[in-house]
Amino acid sequence: MAVGETAGRLASAREGQQWLGSLLYRSEATRPPDEAALDALLLQARARNRALGVTGMLLFDGRQFLQLLEGPPDAVEAVWKSIRQDPRHHDIRILGQTVLPARLCAGWDMQFFAHAAGPFHDRLARGFGRAELGAEAAQAACLARDGAPERIAASLADLVARGHARAALVAHVLEPAARLLGDAWLRDEIGEFDLALALGMLQQAAHALYHAAVPLRRPAQAHHRVLLATAPGETHLTGLCFLARLFDEAGWETDVAFPVRNSELVAGLLAARPDAVDIALSDALPRAEALQSLRETVRCCREAWPDDSLVISVGGRLFAERRASAEDCGADHGRTSVLETPEVLARLVERHRLTCACGSLPRPLRH
């Protein structure tokens, strides 16, 4: 993929002054579409989405659809008006509707994932606390599984009213909930589609948590810039979505990327030129097998960077459970939670700047 194309996959959190609308829904196919019918649907959807500036993601498990639409609010509304009248599906249920500071699916006029074994499976291969809060995390996981993000949001709003910090709630309720859902998948209690759907519910709850509390204003000038990327090929976006909220609140300029290969991530880095990059593995699944390729990813990023100034952070369940550390993959920081990540990375960025300005200083201590 060319640099220009990769740059197109990066979403600036600052699309002018406009906030983006997003809508997540699920539905059931009226009758199982064959591959030709799905291709026709996607062709039609992508052409219109591209024309309207709508991006998103469509999941299909052979029976149900799960779709995320994002873009200028009027455009999302226009597309949604057509979709909800479309006879090819029924039992349509809105799972979340919110405004976003940045696109989560930039560059995807409609990325398609099929999670069913069978004729569509190869597309998937190509595609893409604290004790007191423990009960809340378990409840959030159940509500996410049952498709009730508004109930998770209501319970989080209640905790905020009782004095809990939003970032702490993400760290001690939503992140453990993602791991609980991962456990359910590992025990074969839920399918891959249900896991993806439930993780989407947690993302919606995080958006609602911040949308309710943070005024829609932008800092006059961001001091730091971060690229939040999924590890190449990683399909779970939860950690990245949580982090986007925290970095935005902390006043960072935030870009996001969903690279499929290391070369795409490197091209994206060179295009965005951030102070720091966070590379996220799944928040739900351990992904122990991904450690070696993550090490290679970090090496590629270091090699491509002209000096020592780039701060590289890695995260995901693998690090949250301390089964791996930053040192294991050559990163500067291995986050065990999203909590305080913007603060830690800001400190590391300042140290690296100092190191680069005074070449004689030793490389900063690994955090």
Written as six digits, the tokens of 207 are: 């958006």
> Cα Rg for the chain, rounded, in angstroms?
20
Phi, psi of 113 (to 5 degrees): -125, 130
Is residue 110 near ligand FMN by the rule CB under 6 A? yes
Residue 55 or 203: the one with the smaller Cβ distance to ligand FMN is: 55
Contact 282, 317 (CB under 8 A): yes
Residue 30 or 292: the one with the smaller Cβ distance to ligand FMN is: 30
Residue 6 or 64: the one with the smaller Cβ distance to ligand FMN is: 64
Residue 67 or 238: the one with the smaller Cβ distance to ligand FMN is: 67
Give the Cα separation of 247 and 225 in Å (integer): 9
Span near ligand FMN by CB under 6 A; candidates 40-48, 126-134, 316-324, 341-349: 40-48
Residue 18 or 44: the one with the smaller Cβ distance to ligand FMN is: 44
**175 φψ region: left (φ > 0), alpha (ψ -120 to 50), beta (else):** alpha
CB atoms within 10 A of CB 144: 29
Contact 208, 96 (CB under 8 A): yes
Residue 62 or 134: the one with the smaller Cβ distance to ligand FMN is: 62
Window 78 to 107, contacts with ligand FMN (CB under 6 A): 79, 82-83, 86, 88-89
Using CB under 6 A, pick the residue from 41, 57, 329, 346 that binds ligand FMN: 41
Give the Cα separation of 12 and 10 in Å (integer): 6
Q: In a 3-state reduction of DSSP, which class is residue 255?
A: strand
Q: Applying CB under 6 A, what is the total number of residues that bind ligand FMN?
A: 16
Give the Cα separation of 259 and 266 in Å (integer): 9
Span near ligand FMN by CB under 6 A; candidates 13-21, 37-45, 339-347, 356-364: 37-45
Is residue 45 near ligand FMN by the rule CB under 6 A? yes
The residues with which 58 forms a beta bridge, in sequence order, are: 67, 112
Using CB under 6 A, pick the residue from 22, 64, 67, 98 that binds ligand FMN: 67
Residues that bind ligand FMN (CB under 6 A): 41, 44-45, 48-49, 58, 65, 67, 69, 79, 82-83, 86, 88-89, 110
